[in-house]
Amino acid sequence: MKINILKYIAPVAILAFVACNLSKEVDIELPEYERQPVVECYLEPGKPFRLLLTRSYSFFDPFGLDSSFFQNTLLQDAVVTISYNGQTDTLFNTFSFDPSPLKLFNYTGLNIVPATPGIDYQLNINLPDNEGNITGNTIMLPLVPIDSVVVEFSPDIDSIARALTYVTDDPAAKNYYRRLLHYNSLDSIPEQDFLADDRILTTTKLAFGTGYELREGDTVYNTVCHITKDYYDYYESVQLAVFGNINPFAQPSPIKSNVTGSGNPLGIFTCLVYERDTAIVKR
Amino acid sequence: MKYFLSFFFLCCALLLSAQNTATVSGTIRDAQNGETLIGATVEAVGLGKGNISNEYGFFSFTLPEGNDSVSLRFSYIGYQTSYRKIKPVGPIKLNVSLRSEDNVIEEVVIKANSLEEKMKSTEMSVTTISTKEAKLLPALLGEVDIIKILQLKPGITAGSEGTTGIFVRGGGADQNLIVLDEAVVYNANHLFGFFSTFNSDAVKDVKVYKGGFPAQYGGRLSSVIDVRMKEGNNQEFSGSGGLGLIASRLTLEGPIQKDKSSFIVSGRRTYADLITRGINKSNENTPDYNPIPDYYFYDLNTKVNFTLSEKDRLYLSGYFGRDVFKFKDETFNFLFDWGNTTGTARWNHVFGPKLFANTTFTYSDYRYRIRNILQGFSFSLGSNVNDVNTKVDFYYQPSNNHTVRFGANATYHDFVVGRLKAGSDDGEVKFEAGQTFDGMEYGLYANDEWAVTDRFKLSYGARISAWQNNPSFYARFEPRAAANFAINNKWSVKGSYTRMNQYVHLLASSGLSLPTDIWYPSTEGIKPEISDQVAIGTSYLLGDNLLITWEAWYKWLQNQLDFKDGAEVFGNSNLEDELTIGRGYAFSPLELEIEKKEGKLTGWIGYTLAWTKRSDFPDINRGEEFLPRFDTRHNLSIVALWNLSKRWQITATWVYTSGYVAWLPSGRFSFQDIPGGQTQALVPIYGDRNTYRYPAYMRADLGVVWKWKGKYTENDLTLSVYNATDRRNPYFIYINAETVETPLGDRPTRIYAEQVSLFPILPSITWNFKF
């Protein structure tokens, strides 16, 4: 279980500084940085093999919304393969997307990711122009289903309710989870998004709750992802890097990638196994 | 061990060495309130014999026996000099009270020689601040803080603006032994470090050793901060207090039995929560109103002392302080509190004119607790460390040439590290984590301060320290040596070497002090931290009252601890896995202080040029060297107190620091995330640690003190202007972005660096009173 008390204090503090005119834009020089390839590949059972391969930037490199910026961001013309169960699938350099919520990919395979737990996957990318290679490994985990979602109305104010989501943890294995909670739309910013593990869980039940903040008719999307340790470390380091930038009390973290190779990459290659429950708040 | 025993026997031999001498001993006190005076001078006029009072006000020295009377001069800075005539025959006991300069109607020229004593002493790297001095200086929001005054001394940096962080000569925040009446204070901070736990009304003075540590001190690598509480007025009942912007104080003291016993009770509390509660109450029916959390802190200091007999004195003192942060709404029922408790029982016994003993029992406790209770579920997290310590210190003056100190101590430590309990009330969901440890720490020391000749003084000694925490056991030898050679009456050169061991460690997840930082013991895997420090220096007395001190030092640090990147600090039953161990060093070719303690204008100028590095941490910076956050190259501070008249004083401080270092990102990437996750268009990529240095920090503070006498009270109004030039100093810099909304979420269009400052110009006024 990851606990971050200061996460809630920092945004308020920054707002206060801005309100008191205590912040100003300054010119600073950051250390030299050489762009790196960035891999983002989630193998989702039942979906095609697909991957987003981009390049990082120096921090102050200009942003853009035009096509040239995206062209400069996307890393094209690489040779991408994923091997599993003795077969190798090639992911072609074609553009695809999932409409809702919108996700983009610039490498897509022809086959569908099998749902069988325990399959090992190997990623291999040969970068164009002899820029080196990228490799990675991951394993398909079993689904951890949501046992139940219980909606409880407040004993004090009967118009507000909370939702408690229960899952059963396998005590024989070290398990890592990512919990996402959305109200009313999956395209919205998650109300809750955190990592959890069963390291200190002494029972087999795991519960994720909301505060008494729901009203009758609200739709609650509960997502519980069963994730690998690599993904847990990667996502945590991403959060710490983002958070470390805005919070003077926080220690930032370098990105903990699970892809390596002569191409000096960053990123994550992992399977994505999750259950999503949709509940409508009613009495 | 063999050398230590030889040394100890040498000390014992010295016991027998003095003959045909008269020993003068006693205690020097403030005449008005009976407080013992530390560092007061007693001198036999024309004979060049004398001594200074120790930390308990006790002095002892010998004179050749004779029939001619001898005049003794007692002096202390800020007090009228007093003379006594004695006939030097046999043991002579003299308890002397000095009158404070404040009570003198006519102008009196004080010839106190504290700077001269400092120049001649083997002690180096030492600084003392009295509360009297601290109270005159401008303070943040008018809240006088003696720890923040220490940050104005050379060799000491704050680590961050406005906080009470103390980083001494390249040492970490946990490497300071902070003791209040000899009891360890584990977290000397309120309000996330913006105020210290030391209420200025209850504190007598603070002495800081930055190096050249006497053998009686051990257990921390970088400094000893010895805070002494007032004893209480044993002459008459009195009170003092103050009303400030953020807190109020009240102190009551008086005799229990005049001249024999006294008490002091001192309290302080902030009151912002009383205002925020009112605001919350008036808005409780406002839709979507987010209540302001309750926050307050308070301190309570108490002390009693009893003169049991001519030779025995008993002191009992205690401290209790808490910070409380509370919040309650539909989602949270949250309580976060933290604080220290200390207790001291001290027995001074005078065995004879040459031997004085101090036996002390102390108790220290620091704990934090976070609780959140919701319908059917609860969460609690806490850590604590507590100590029970017993020690005995002997002070022996066999002759004027030798002052011997020896003693021993044993401390039982008990640690609860990150105890977490969370789950449902029905027990169906349950999380538990945490570790408990205990350990015994031992110390045995002896030290002799030897005036080899009139010009050459040597202080040499050793401490044997040990730590037991089953199954680990460490025993360490810590040599200590210091020397002073007086080239003439105005100029001396000094040198010192000390080795220190530290058996308890503060695990801090950032460079700043937080209440949730965890104290952790040495174990099999976590070896004691070690430091070696050498220092050389010279002191020159310019005129009668300007002391110029230069020191250069080098410090080696071993077994330094840090968290690995992304460490799981909370809810972890095996915290050692998250730690990485390395080395460090710090050095300064120039640590300069110019002090003026007498006259209408007093104060000091301090300058330090220093380098601090950490290295060989396998999990940080690939094992390569890096700068810790508190490394600063140049530190300059100027402190001036101008005594315009008996009623008006003007004070000013000016600080320049060449900027702390920070870990800023060098690159960025976009993170699309999984379905339902939030796309992050800008994820910072952090490379090598702490490569960016903030712009220089500069601050000028001004203070005006106006004193007047009422019918029943003495009053002063203290106006403080913090950051008088309204300079926007960098507190931290973060990378911000201008964004536009797109179908892919908010996309940055421009990235820029934003500097956040903590304090603009902050005037404040405090009313202080005494009755």
At residue A142, the pLDDT reads 95
Q: What average pLDDT does the segment B328-356 reach?
A: 89
| pLDDT at position B550 over 90 | yes
pLDDT digits 0-9 by tens, B458-483 = 999 999 999 999 889 999 999 999 99
DSSP line for B557-585:
EEEEEEEPTT---SS-S-GGGGEEEEEEE
Q: Considering only CA atoms, which of B625, B721, B737 is closest in space to residue A64?
A: B737
Query: CA of A55: which chain B residue's CA is closest?
Result: B669
ipTM: 0.91
Contacts of B431 in chain A (CB under 8 A): 1, 200-202
- Cα distances (Å, whole numbers) of residue B730 to A56, B212, B693: 28, 34, 11
What span, in angstroms and rounded, lies between the C-alpha atoms of B295 and B45? 58
Out of A276-280, B47-51, B407-411, least confident range: B47-51
Domains of chain B: 2-112 (2.60.40.1120), 229-770 (2.40.170.20)
Angle between helices A10-19 and A229-246 (to 10 degrees): 20
CB spacing of A31 vs B370 below 8 angstroms: no
CB spacing of A276 vs B566 below 8 angstroms: no
Q: What average pLDDT does the segment B258-277 reach?
A: 90
Q: Indicate the DSSP class of residue B290.
A: -
Report the helix count and the strand count for chain B, using DSSP H and E: 5, 46
B536 Rama sector, left if φ>0, alpha if ψ -120 to 50, beta otherwise: beta
Q: Which amino acid is at B667?
A: G
- Cα distances (Å, whole numbers) of residue A201 to A106, A248, B483: 40, 31, 59
Contacts of A244 in chain B (CB under 8 A): 663, 684, 686
CB spacing of A200 vs B432 below 8 angstroms: yes
Which is higher by pLDDT, B123 or B189? Answer: B189
Q: Which candidate from B424, B666, B733 shows the least CB-CB separation from A26? A: B733
User: Is B757 within 8 Å of B731 (Cβ atoms)?
Assistant: yes
Q: What average pLDDT does the segment B30-59 reach?
A: 82
Q: What average pLDDT does the segment B415-426 reach?
A: 90
- The alpha-carbon gap from B539 to the nearest alpha carbon of chain A, in Å, equals 40
- The alpha-carbon gap from B705 to the nearest alpha carbon of chain A, in Å, equals 29
Q: Are strands A192-197 and A259-260 parallel, antiparallel or unpaired?
A: unpaired
Six token digits for residue B416: 């609860």
pLDDT digits 0-9 by tens, B276-290 = 888 888 887 777 777
Interface test with chain B among A54, A105, A249, A278, by most B beta carbons within 10 Å: A249
Q: What average pLDDT does the segment B569-583 reach?
A: 88
| pLDDT at position B11 over 50 | no
Contacts 24+ apart (CB under 8 A), B245-253: B245/B141, B245/B142, B245/B143, B245/B764, B245/B765, B245/B766, B246/B141, B246/B142, B246/B143, B246/B270, B246/B271, B246/B272, B247/B143, B247/B271, B249/B199, B249/B200, B249/B201, B250/B201, B251/B201, B251/B202, B253/B33
Q: Considering only CA atoms, which of A5, A169, A4, A1 is closest in space to residue B433?
A: A1
Element (H, E) at B462: strand B456-469
At residue B17, the pLDDT reads 46
- The alpha-carbon gap from B178 to the nearest alpha carbon of chain A, in Å, equals 23
- The alpha-carbon gap from A203 to the nearest alpha carbon of chain B, in Å, equals 6
Out of A137-141, B451-455, B672-676, B677-681, least confident range: B677-681
CB spacing of B430 vs A202 below 8 angstroms: yes
At residue B13, the pLDDT reads 47
CB spacing of A65 vs B370 below 8 angstroms: no
- Cα distances (Å, whole numbers) of residue A159 to A181, A218, A283, B419, B612: 21, 12, 10, 36, 59
DSSP E strands in B564-647: the ranges are 579-596, 601-615, 634-643
Q: What average pLDDT does the segment B48-52 reach?
A: 80
- The alpha-carbon gap from B432 to the nearest alpha carbon of chain A, in Å, equals 5
At residue B342, the pLDDT reads 97
Contacts of A264 in chain B (CB under 8 A): none
| pLDDT at position B107 over 60 | no
| pLDDT at position B111 over 50 | no
Judged by DSSP in three states, B274 sits in helix
Contacts of A171 in chain B (CB under 8 A): none
What span, in angstroms and rounded, lies between the C-alpha atoms of B158 and B154? 11
A156 Cβ neighbours under 8 A, 6+ residues apart: none
Q: What average pLDDT does the segment B165-170 reach?
A: 90
At residue B318, the pLDDT reads 96
At residue B512, the pLDDT reads 62
Name the percent of chain B lying above pLDDT 70. Answer: 94
pLDDT digits 0-9 by tens, B633-649 = 999 999 999 999 989 99
CB spacing of A203 vs B423 below 8 angstroms: yes
Query: What separation, in Å, do the N-terminal and C-terminal C-alpha atoms of chain A show?
Result: 31
> Which mean pLDDT values do the consecutive 10-residue runs of chain A (283 residues) have?
46 51 85 94 95 94 81 94 96 88 90 94 96 96 94 86 92 94 88 91 90 90 95 95 84 93 97 93 87
Q: Considering only CA atoms, which of B584, B496, B503, B490 is closest in space to residue B541?
A: B490
A9 Rama sector, left if φ>0, alpha if ψ -120 to 50, beta otherwise: alpha
CB spacing of B680 vs A157 below 8 angstroms: no
- The alpha-carbon gap from A88 to the nearest alpha carbon of chain B, in Å, equals 24
Residue B599: pLDDT band by 50, 70, 90 thresholds? confident
At residue B744, the pLDDT reads 62
| pLDDT at position B70 over 50 | yes
Element (H, E) at B702: strand B697-709
- Cα distances (Å, whole numbers) of residue B110 to A184, B132, B197, B407: 79, 17, 34, 37
| pLDDT at position B294 over 50 | yes
DSSP line for B100-138:
BGGG-SS-------HHHHHHHSS--SEEEEEHHHHHHS-
Contacts of A238 in chain B (CB under 8 A): 671, 680, 683
